[in-house]
């Protein structure tokens, strides 16, 4: 590593952390002290998906979300993290070179902000908006309130460090990248992630998502599994309940992340809601070596969900040909008695193998599981 590269990486890290401190303060200076303290975090709910949210959940489900696609990277101890992070910070240390490799700033805006291809699954702006600006911004807002509730000093800085850390983990898992893909890393880390923090630092915008759309993190209970040191049952999933005035209390249900599904959800009494969705789940990600454009491979999928007060209690997701064919989660607060703090999950994976595990609200979203690999045929 050269001295120039080291200085560049220090500069990149400083810019990232500076965004996390400066942006929220600039926005807070414009807002009234009479605004409610917490818009997203609900400390009194000790059941369901809400009970396992926190820094560790954000780092695993958001940072390791690409493991949803399957493949060798699920064996996380076998990943050359040093090489991958070195490549990511190398791109961030030389952003102008990365942008020039695809033809300049006009081309970067064309492919990252506008529609760069007639193929919908090659539209980078959809994942940038849904994944970085909205989901990333909401993750920041939740973590800032989570840390503030626990008396952590400068919660905006801590929350920014976690969401940027998750973003960098995600970028590292997407490497090795070709020269024409490095501009995407620059755009994600230097533009879209800070923009998400800026957007969701504004109480009015955050209230629209958390109150009008009832946004919630319905990610599964990511777990470290034995005996192969894999991460299973992983991937960030955000839910949104869209008002439909002509259907009374029934709302439209959107689940967005490494799935893109739509359906309906309806109250069934005592704060419980039952919903279903149909759409797509991610199967993989490919990159055109000539253009550097990313393409998401998808399969048909559907899900059934039950929540209480917008905290997910259980879900069942079925996919046609994705790595995870069946994904069932029961969150803490469902099992009776002394088992109430525990959550359980089960997946049926590509190749016929099964995985299962347990989580707890005290572990903040990271559980422990076991892989029942199907014996190899002879």
DSSP string, 234-295: ---EEEEEEE-GGGTT-EEEEEEESEEEEEEEEEEETTEEEEEEEEEEEEEEEE-TTT--EE
pLDDT of residue 1: 41
304-328: burial string, b at 16+ Cβ within 10 Å, e else: ebbbbbbbbbbbbbbbeebbbbebb
Q: What is the pLDDT of residue 116?
A: 56
pLDDT of residue 287: 61
The pLDDT of residue 70 is 64
pLDDT value at 154 more than 80: yes
- For 263, counting Cβ atoms within 10 Å of its Cβ (0-12 exposed, 13-18 middle, 19+ buried), the class is middle
> CA angle 340-62-183, nearest 5°?
180
Position 88 scores a pLDDT of: 87
Rounded percentage of the chain residues whose pLDDT exceeds 90? 48
Q: What is the pTM of this model?
A: 0.84
Query: Which positions ≥6 away from 159 have C-beta within 8 Å?
Result: 20, 140, 141, 143, 144, 146, 147
CA–CA dist 51, 35 (Å, integer): 25
Residue 244 has pLDDT above 70, yes or no: yes
13: pLDDT strictly greater than 70: no
What pLDDT is recorded for position 168?
Answer: 92
Does the structure show a pLDDT above 60 at 89?
A: yes
For the record, the structure tokens of 9 come out as 């990486």
Segment 315-341 shows an average pLDDT of 90
User: What confidence tens digit (pLDDT) does each residue in 110-137 have?
Assistant: 777 766 555 554 556 677 888 889 999 9
Identify the pLDDT of residue 11.
46
User: What's the pLDDT at 158?
Assistant: 95
Percentage of the chain lying above the pLDDT 70 cut: 79
The tens digit of pLDDT for each residue in 26-39 reads: 444 444 444 457 99
The band of 181, judged by pLDDT with boundaries at 50, 70 and 90, is: low
Report residue 209 as tokens: 């998502």
Higher pLDDT pick, 266 / 290: 266
Q: pLDDT (tens digit, 9 = 90+) per residue, 352-366?
A: 889 999 999 888 778
List residues bridging with 370 in a β-sheet: 226, 356
Most confident of 13-27, 79-93, 132-146: 132-146
Q: Whose structure tokens read 């454009």? A: 293
CB contact at 8 A, 368 and 88: no
Q: Which two tokens stand for residue 302?
A: 């559907």
Q: In the beta sheet, which residues pair with residue 251? A: 243, 265
Q: Are the C-beta atoms of residues 134 and 213 closer than 8 Å to each other?
A: no
CA 172 – CA 137 distance, rounded (Å): 20
| Model confidence at 22: pLDDT above 60 | no
């Amino acid at each position: 590593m050269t001295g120039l590269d080291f200085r560049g990486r220090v500069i990149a890290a400083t810019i990232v952390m500076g965004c996390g401190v400066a942006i929220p303060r600039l926005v807070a200076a414009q807002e009234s002290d009479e605004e409610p303290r917490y818009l997203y975090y609900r400390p009194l709910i000790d059941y369901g998906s809400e009970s396992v949210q926190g820094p560790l959940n954000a780092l695993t489900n958001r940072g390791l979300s690409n493991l949803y696609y399957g493949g060798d990277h699920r064996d996380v101890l076998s990943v050359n993290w040093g090489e991958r992070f070195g490549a990511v910070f190398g791109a961030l240390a030389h952003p102008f070179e990365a942008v020039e490799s695809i033809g300049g700033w006009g081309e970067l805006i064309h492919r990252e902000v506008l529609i760069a291809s007639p193929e919908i699954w090659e539209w980078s702006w959809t994942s940038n908006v849904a994944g970085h600006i909205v989901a990333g911004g909401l993750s920041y807002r939740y973590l800032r309130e989570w840390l503030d509730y626990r008396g952590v000093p400068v919660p905006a800085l801590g929350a920014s460090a976690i969401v940027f850390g998750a973003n960098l983990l995600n970028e590292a898992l997407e490497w090795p990248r070709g020269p024409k893909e490095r501009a995407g890393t620059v755009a994600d880390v230097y533009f879209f992630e800070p923009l998400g923090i800026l957007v969701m630092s504004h109480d009015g915008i955050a209230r629209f998502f958390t109150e009008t759309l009832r946004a919630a993190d319905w990610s599964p209970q990511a777990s470290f599994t034995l005996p192969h040191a894999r991460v299973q049952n992983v991937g960030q999933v955000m839910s949104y309940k869209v008002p439909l005035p002509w259907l009374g209390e029934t709302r439209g249900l959107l689940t967005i992340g490494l799935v893109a599904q739509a359906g309906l959800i309806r109250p069934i009494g005592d704060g419980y809601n039952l919903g279903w969705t149909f759409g797509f789940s991610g199967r993989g990600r490919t990159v055109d070596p000539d253009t550097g454009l990313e393409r998401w491979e998808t399969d048909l999928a559907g899900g059934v969900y039950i929540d209480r007060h917008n905290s997910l209690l259980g879900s069942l997701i079925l996919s046609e040909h994705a790595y995870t064919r069946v994904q069932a989660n029961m969150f803490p607060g469902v099992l009776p008695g002394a088992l109430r703090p525990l959550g359980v999950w089960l997946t049926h994976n590509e190749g016929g193998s099964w995985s299962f595990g347990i989580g707890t609200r005290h572990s903040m979203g990271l559980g422990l599981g076991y892989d029942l690999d199907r014996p190899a045929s002879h």
